[in-house]
Amino acid sequence: MKTRWIVMAAAVCMVAGLACASPPSATNRADLVDDFAPLFSPPKKALHGLTVGITPAPPTVNASSRSGELALVTAGQLYHLVLAAGGTPVLARSLYATLDANVVAQQPTDCHICLTISYTDASDRPLVYVTRTGTGTAGESLASALLDSIPNSRSGSSNATHAAVGSPAQVAVCLPADSTRGPLTPAQRRGCFERAEQLYAGLAHWKEHTLLGGPPVAERRPVPDYPDDKPAGRYERIAQRVWPTETLNQQQLDSFCDSFTQNLITNDSLVYFDVHADQVGSAVVLKGSTNLPVLAKTLKRTLETFGLDPVRNEVCALPDNEHLGHDPFGVCRVPLALTYRQPGGGGLQTQLLYGAPVYLLDCTHDHYLLHADDGYWGWVPRNAIRSMSADEFLAYQALPVGVLRDDVVHGSLTLPRGATLRVCSFDQHHCTLRLADGNTLEVLIGQVKLAPPAEVMPRRVAAALDLLYTPYVFGGCGPLGLDCSGLVRNVTAQDDTTIIARDAWQQALAGRLVATAGARGNIRAGDQLFFIDRTGRIYHTALAIDGQRFVHSSPPCVRISSFDPDDPLYGSYLDRTFFVAKRR
């Protein structure tokens, strides 16, 4: 199965250079969002035990130049529907290096049935026919089920030949394609998804009413893009990864916690996890603090796999509002401030420059624990930070950003070059900056580099929405198949010649931190959202459409989801695992 995913990824990269359609207008973008409905999700075990070979046929002679791509998209979407239904899909060829009529797709083997999908402008009605019969009348019964599931379809003249006993039934479906020769649109890909849903319905009906023939085939399942929420066996695997021996005694508890932190957390600059285990009577008690509370629960469950009982979780979830009071945000009020892994120094983390907004996590009498604007957590002296209320912080964050090109002296204060300050106003000669104390400072316009125009971010959203219904392909970053980080990489490349990192966990290291799980009010269109699982791994990414909805690629295709529980597109797991948002 892993090999098949690699083949799919490699094939995607070969067509990654195909041009995407021009991003839709603002009006069309709103229509795309409003018209998007929850995707069909098949019952989990509807196709259990069924191995389905799926072959997207290349375009036929004199067919539309996009007919081959339509077949690829439909096949990719059907692949995920079969997989979600508990079946085993085998994709004969995910993407072609060249969409050429001379390319011959190789039929999958070791399948119960083989389905060939093609598009042509030579017909205005779907055509279904048997190409090769297997045991008994499997081919004819499958064709009949597909005819019932595809509206307005017709049966073709069968050119079936008899096959050896145990050979899979082979059926072809030829679908009408319009004559459009431009890049595929979201509407066309949505039409492909509707066809894939119809094909799935025919497969499910056939399986339900037909005795499977052929030899049993071992089930092959790919690793999903992000994990489901089933814990069975997970904590045992974590324990083996963290602590390869089968025993754990009291003297080894702190070493176990250290190994847990070092082996699991992907981005330890973003995740603060200062947790230790103490033996209190007969119980093991977890103490400390973290900005990822679910990780402490994972540590508890992992310790329990060694037979430790009871294990109590008393880890404090950050931000600690009881310590921080009503001002959980802030801004750097000194020219330069270093942050450390421990209060008072030890383990340098990053440096704050004047005007940098920060997210406060905890405090002592004379230090703050915070998330810096680059995402790094660290301890810094309290006198380096001016605390802010949520409303004041949101108003500060809403102002445009300007970066100082030169040092600026203001009284006894030197504002260092590279500092990001908020811009109140500017003209062709001067720029008015907002200072950390709330006052303003006027400088020459040439001393400040203004952030990219605000329209860049919505353009990225528009480009992502133009890829709606594109099949999910692990490792893909092209317009015929992409994964979550590939989607972001594809659309940001259209506004920036810099190639961003490939994987979601790598992309999470770049950009300005603008929102966290507990402070989502500053999310804007085009911000990149990151999601983290119970083991501290950044597993998924998306682009915000607004403060609630976002566009992302996850099986079966590029889709829209929401943080709002009252929204039909609400994704509960994504809502629970949202971690941070960054702006680049």
Segment 29-52, tens digit of pLDDT: 788 898 999 999 999 899 998 999
| Token reading at 124 | 């205005």
| pLDDT for position 457 | 83
User: Is a pLDDT exceeding 90 seen at residue 331?
Assistant: yes
| Token reading at 25 | 């207008």
Nearest by Cα to 404 from 457, 356, 338, 370: 356
Three-class SS of 280-343: ECCEEEEEEEECCHHHHHHHHHHHHCCCCCCEEECCEECCCHHHHCCCCEEEECCCEEEEECCC
Let me know if 100 is exposed, middle or buried by CB neighbors in 10 A (0-12, 13-18, 19+).
exposed
| pLDDT for position 345 | 84
Neighbouring-strand partners of residue 114? 53, 170
| pLDDT for position 10 | 37
The answer to whether the beta carbons of residues 252 and 244 sit under 8 Å apart is no
Nearest by Cα to 455 from 32, 26, 33, 22: 26
pTM: 0.86
Comparing 226-230, 273-277, 519-523, the range with the smallest average pLDDT is 226-230
| pLDDT for position 3 | 37
Three-class SS of 143-172: HHHHHHHCCCCEECCCCCECCCCCCCEEEE
Q: Please enumerate in sequence order all residues whose Cβ is within 8 A of that of 130, keeping only pairs 6 or more positions apart, or say none.
A: 139, 140, 142, 143, 158, 159, 160, 169, 170, 171, 172
Q: Residue 97 carries which side chain, given as an amino acid letter?
A: A
User: Which residue matches tokens 């375009």?
Assistant: 59
Element (H, E) at 53: strand 51-56
Element (H, E) at 260: helix 253-264
| pLDDT for position 226 | 46
| 472-530 pLDDT per residue, tens | 998 888 888 999 999 999 998 887 656 788 899 999 999 999 999 999 999 999 999 99
The answer to whether the beta carbons of residues 360 and 328 sit under 8 Å apart is yes
Q: Please enumerate in sequence order all residues whose Cβ is within 8 A of that of 32, keeping only pairs 6 or more positions apart, or say none.
A: 24, 186, 465, 468
User: Is a pLDDT exceeding 70 seen at residue 217?
Assistant: no
| Token reading at 187 | 């509407």
At residue 102 the predicted structure's pLDDT band, cuts being 50, 70 and 90, is very low
| pLDDT for position 60 | 61
- Mean pLDDT of all residues in 447-470: 86
Nearest by Cα to 171 from 206, 212, 197: 206
| pLDDT for position 7 | 35
Neighbouring-strand partners of residue 561? 550
In whole numbers, what is the pLDDT of the chain averaged over residues? 85
- Mean pLDDT of all residues in 403-411: 94
382: Cα within 13 Å, side-chain hemisphere: 12
Q: Cα–Cα distance between 376 and 391 in angstroms, integer?
A: 23
Q: Report the chain's terminal Cα–Cα distance, integer Å.
A: 36
Residue of 208 and 433 predicted with greater confidence: 433
Q: Cα–Cα distance between 359 and 344 in angstroms, integer?
A: 19
Neighbouring-strand partners of residue 581? 515, 529
